[in-house]
Amino acid sequence: MLMLATAASAGPWPREPKALFLSLSVEADRNDNSYVGLYGEYGLSPRRTLGFELGHASIGETSAMIWLQQARGDGSGANRWVTSLGLGGFERDGDLVPVVQIGAAWGRGIDWLPGGGWITVESRVKVAGKQQEIEPEPEENVVYEGDALTYLTPQVTTKLEATLGFRPFTGMMLINQLRLEDRDDTGLSGKLASSVVRDLAGPAKIELGLVLPLAGDGEAAVKLGSWLEF
């Protein structure tokens, strides 16, 4: 069972000034792999959104990321563009690794679907500085007695998400999302996520869906998510 809030992110549309979005989520699969995350967005201005994410994985990894998203263009027309820059890091086995994230997204509303809808394409690149250890080459007639030297090597993760959503009924959304990810360690993977989102009381929503692997490692999963917007 997965509890996610991916479809609730602002995407290319900035949050309204002083608007707040929060989501506490849990992911788990049949192999006892799990992830707990706290995700948030806050509207700083009509064109700027501040976001953050805190997470902990069952492999013993804790992560944090904060980013600033900026709308591009003059806001006229049907197309919306944004760019973002984030800084953070993760801790694993006592080692702290810095992470830099850059992102860009495009979106537009569409009126030919029932109840109206939207389409977005979002891309993100994360570069993590992985700590490596090397033993220096000993010089002739010199005995080296120190510890191994350390240096940072970049590990790059690229993500691309294409989303199509629409509102067939009042208080309900149908969302289909293609997720592509390319990692240095595992290579390319792809998933298709389809879900139904239903309004609850007040600012709350609930999401139920299915995630199907298309390429790379992974298993089919059920998705259950909830979020709040103020």
Per-residue confidence (pLDDT) for residue 145, from 0 to 100 = 46
* CA quadruple 179, 180, 184, 187: dihedral, nearest 10: 110
- Rounded CA-CA distance 106/119 in Å is 8
Per-residue confidence (pLDDT) for residue 154, from 0 to 100 = 62
β-strand partners of 211:
193, 221
Query: What is the set of domains in the chain, with CATH numbers?
Result: 6-134+147-229 (2.40.160.40)
Per-residue confidence (pLDDT) for residue 144, from 0 to 100 = 39
Per-residue confidence (pLDDT) for residue 138, from 0 to 100 = 52
Per-residue confidence (pLDDT) for residue 146, from 0 to 100 = 45
Token representation of residue 204: 């709350």
- Rounded CA-CA distance 156/153 in Å is 10
Distances (CA, A) of 74 to 46, 79, 208, 222: 11, 10, 36, 40
pLDDT (tens place) for every residue of the chain, 230 residues total: 333 334 455 578 889 999 998 877 777 777 777 777 888 999 999 999 999 999 888 878 899 999 999 999 887 788 999 999 999 988 877 778 899 999 999 999 888 877 888 999 999 999 987 655 555 455 554 443 444 444 455 688 899 999 998 888 888 889 899 999 888 777 888 989 888 888 888 888 887 878 788 987 777 777 777 778 88
